[in-house]
Amino acid sequence: MPQVYPFRALQFNRGKGDASTLIAPPYDVLDRAGKQRLLDQNSQNIVAIDLPHTPAKELGPASAYDGAAAALESLVGSGVLTRTDEPSLFAYRQKFTSADGNVYFRSGMCACVDVVAFGPRAGGGILPHEETFSGPKEDRMALMKATRTQLSPIFGLHADEKGLATKLLQSVMASRAADMTATMRGAGADNVQHEVWTISDGPTIRAYQDALASEDIFIADGHHRYTTQISYLKGLEGAGSVAADHPARRSMMVLVGMSDPGLVIWPTHRVLGGMADYSIDHFLKASSGDIRTEPIAGGLAELESALDKLAGMGEMRFGLWDFEQKRGMVAMPASPDPLKERFPDKPRAWRELVVAYCQYVLVEKLCQGAMNENQPVKWAFPHTIKEVEEIGSGAETGAGGGAGFAQLAVIVRPTPLAAVKEVSRANQLMPQKSTFFYPKLATGLWMNPLA
């Protein structure tokens, strides 16, 4: 792994007490209404800076980013935001209730790591697992240039096969009460509880650095933001020499061990629309050589339940839901290893990803090719059946949607963590929106000045 460093974080409340009304979910799960709900609770909420323009899927006006920089400067100038006195690491624990109704605790360490190019390298590399979109990278670059600050941490995973890092985290958390706490409510925050312990003593910092020696970092969430930081550093280097200890050479991350018992992956379903020639009967006729289906009685909830239970249809099974006729079915590829002919050089783990099959067969071949005259379709990426239902009703959500949008939903099961590791180590990328590590990290607990 690239070297792990303590850093002097920029924090609300001097890193102490309750920060519930000051933190926010990451920018990419919020819409305009969600942003406003957070600002109604506290006008100084970090969302005013981290999400100056909606939707953040595309570049906004320059004035939005200038306003974010001015707001950040004002909070620093007034003492609302201050930097830690000493370089520190920050143990971080999230308590949450997952979709299965169980309560989990997920623990990680907020630290800075060297900004290096994606890919394997001696001593450990930083490995992506998903493809990215251009629009969000343009938005994040404009914001980083204006504020000269990394406003939110990247979510990184490491193997931690011996559990050393996780054990160290647990010992710190058991030793004393948290320094900072927060509970977000509403705006997609789901009542997740956040706790932070500031660590500035040398022996603990060195023990954590040793525990992560030679391990790869797998980017779980934040591909667009990390790619932006690589580009930001290249831009500085292109403009002149950049000192070896320049802050822009380091990226703030929350690092979570894959052995952590609270590591939960949710599915990312697909809701598709904008198809000129779509009907479920047309789709099933066009797909007869590609998929086999089993009709399911009932609604989306029954479809989700059946998808879990019909293990006999194989690991690549998925659900299909037609919004017009309210018809559901569980489906599977008609042949084993169906992506091998098109992608013979991809590893088997990649070719067996349901999300890859969804993108290259269901969407590109069938929805775009047979249903829409080879033109792009419209997408939404909900994570729960409730969100799928909301989009189907015509709602605009943080996952996408809008009136008259939804035609066909593809319901998937979560991408296995083992597949994330195997595909990343093969230096391959999954399609966009292949994983959703729940819950998201909070924005506003720490910031990393890059000037």
Q: Tens place of pLDDT for every residue, the chain, 451 residues?
A: 568 999 999 999 999 999 999 999 988 888 888 899 999 999 999 999 999 998 888 899 999 999 999 999 999 999 999 999 999 999 999 999 877 788 999 999 999 999 999 888 887 889 887 766 677 889 999 999 999 999 999 999 998 888 899 999 999 999 999 999 999 875 555 689 999 999 999 999 999 999 998 888 989 888 889 999 999 999 999 999 899 999 999 999 999 998 888 988 889 999 999 999 999 999 999 999 999 999 999 999 999 999 999 999 999 999 999 999 999 999 999 999 999 999 999 999 999 999 999 999 999 999 999 999 999 999 999 999 999 999 999 988 767 788 889 999 999 999 988 888 888 778 788 888 888 888 899 999 999 999 8
Residues 399 and 350 in one domain: yes
Q: Is 423 part of any domain?
A: no
Q: Is 346 part of any domain?
A: yes
Residues 189 and 314 in one domain: no
Residues 139 and 20 in one domain: yes
Residues 143 and 168 in one domain: yes
Q: Is 204 part of any domain?
A: yes
Residues 28 and 176 in one domain: yes
Residues 340 and 367 in one domain: yes
Range 62-66, long-range pairs (CB < 8 A, 24+ positions):
62/142, 65/142, 65/143, 65/145, 65/146, 65/147, 66/146
Residues 183 and 288 in one domain: no
Residues 394 and 441 in one domain: no
Interaxial angle between packed helices 385-392 and 300-309, expressed in degrees from 0 to 180 and rounded to the nearest 10: 140
Q: Is 422 part of any domain?
A: no
* Domains held by the chain: number: 2
Q: Is 77 part of any domain?
A: yes
Residues 114 and 56 in one domain: yes
Domain ranges, residue 289: 268-413
Q: How many residues are recorded in the chain?
A: 451
Q: Is 349 part of any domain?
A: yes
Residues 252 and 285 in one domain: no
Residues 108 and 147 in one domain: yes
Quote the CA–CA distance of 401 and 348 in Å, as a whole number.
33
Burial tier of 310 (Cβ tally within 10 Å: 0-12, 13-18, 19+): middle
For 124-192, strand residue ranges (E) read 126-127, 149-150, 154-158, 180-183
Residues 200 and 284 in one domain: no
Q: Are 314 and 334 in contact (CB under 8 A)?
A: no
Quote the CA–CA distance of 134 and 227 in Å, as a whole number.
10
